[in-house]
């Protein structure tokens, strides 16, 4: 089946429209009838495929009687939905990149991550997350427990129907985060997760020296119905990259890491040796 064109920002926009319609208590079919639209037009809209003008969107949002701030937010997403990437900045205590990432990870059927300095996010335990927040530049500006809750919720993506591959550098395993007990629990958790048949953990050894992932950490999200997306993040922003040339470059990085990393069993042995 051919993949539909639907960008990350388009899907975020579609989710917002779907929620707005849901709050009216009316069905998408009823909304379409009231607007004199084909039902498929509303369906495409909530799937992030667009197909309406800004004026038509304004009429729909007016019919749904949503608040002005939400109207401005959805209009901004609508106007950005044709871009080749989605740049997100946080507006409150919980980084918006966490919310957006959770939504996209739930849609993906295959997630491949490269982490150079810390344990990959979906594998992080609450105490490990707290310790990272305490030493971060945003420690005084965020509610640590809300961030921990938001990031821990990402672990709900683990399911045998999906495929997960984590490439991480050995220094991420050895970097002391929190106390000895926090690190021990965290490494035991990584080891336990690596025993699941749908989770693969591959370590790039420090002894290798220079490697293909030196430009920084990222994750590749692959979907059954959509084109793949790469997610990268900085201290206070994140970027979903969607253009084909950029995706091809990141895929090549992963191919090289696949050749450079220890295999799954060797990686387990290394983690076990660190625990010992």
Q: Which two tokens stand for residue 133?
A: 């927040």
User: How much is the pTM?
Assistant: 0.71
pLDDT given at position 46: 78
Half-sphere exposure of 197 (CA within 13 A, CB side): 2
CATH number of 8-83: 1.10.260.40
Helix (H, G, I), strand (E, B) or coil at 275: helix
Q: Compute the distance between CA of residue 147 and CA of residue 126 in angstroms, rounded to an integer.
A: 10
pLDDT at 3: 44
Is domain 86-275 annotated with CATH 3.30.870? yes
Question: With the C-alpha atoms ordered 259, 155, 219, 81, is the resulting torsion angle positive or negative?
Answer: positive
pLDDT given at position 100:
65
How far CA 255 is from CA of 115, 167, 223, 251, in Å, comes to 15, 11, 19, 6
Task: Provide the residue-wise pLDDT of the chain in tens; the chain has 276 residues.
Answer: 334 456 666 677 777 888 888 888 888 888 888 888 888 888 877 776 667 787 888 888 888 887 888 877 777 677 665 555 455 555 544 444 455 677 778 788 999 999 999 999 999 999 999 999 888 877 777 788 888 887 887 788 899 999 999 999 999 999 999 999 999 999 999 999 999 999 999 999 999 999 999 999 999 999 888 889 898 877 666 788 888 899 999 999 999 999 999 999 999 999 999 998
Q: What is the pLDDT of residue 80?
A: 63
pLDDT on residue 2: 38
Domain residue extents for the chain: 8-83, 86-275
């Amino acid at each position: 089946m051919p993949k539909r064109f639907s960008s990350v920002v388009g899907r975020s926009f579609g989710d917002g429209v779907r929620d707005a319609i849901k709050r009216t208590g009316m069905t998408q079919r009823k909304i379409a009838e009231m607007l004199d639209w084909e039902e498929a037009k509303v369906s495409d809209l909530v799937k992030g495929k667009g197909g309406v003008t800004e004026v038509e969107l304004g009429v729909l949002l007016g019919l749904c009687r949503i608040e002005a701030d939400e109207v401005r937010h959805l209009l901004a997403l609508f106007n950005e939905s044709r871009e080749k990437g989605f740049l997100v900045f946080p507006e409150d205590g919980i980084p918006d990149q966490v919310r957006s990432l959770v939504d996209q990870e739930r849609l993906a059927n295959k997630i491949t991550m490269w982490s150079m300095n810390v344990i990959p996010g979906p594998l992080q335990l609450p105490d490990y997350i707290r310790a990272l927040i305490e030493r971060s530049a945003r420690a005084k500006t965020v509610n640590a427990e809300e961030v921990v809750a938001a990031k821990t919720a990402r672990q709900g993506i683990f399911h045998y129907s999906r495929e997960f591959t984590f490439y991480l550098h050995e220094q991420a395993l050895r970097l002391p985060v929190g106390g000895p007990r926090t690190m021990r629990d965290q490494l035991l958790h990584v080891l336990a997760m690596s025993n699941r048949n749908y989770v693969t953990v591959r370590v790039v050894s420090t002894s290798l020296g220079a490697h293909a992932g030196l430009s920084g950490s990222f994750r590749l999200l692959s979907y059954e119905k959509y084109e793949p997306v790469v997610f990268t993040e900085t201290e206070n922003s994140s970027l979903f990259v969607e253009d084909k040339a950029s995706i091809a470059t990141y895929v090549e990085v992963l191919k090289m890491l696949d050749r450079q990393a220890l295999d799954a069993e060797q990686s387990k042995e290394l983690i076990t040796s660190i625990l010992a």
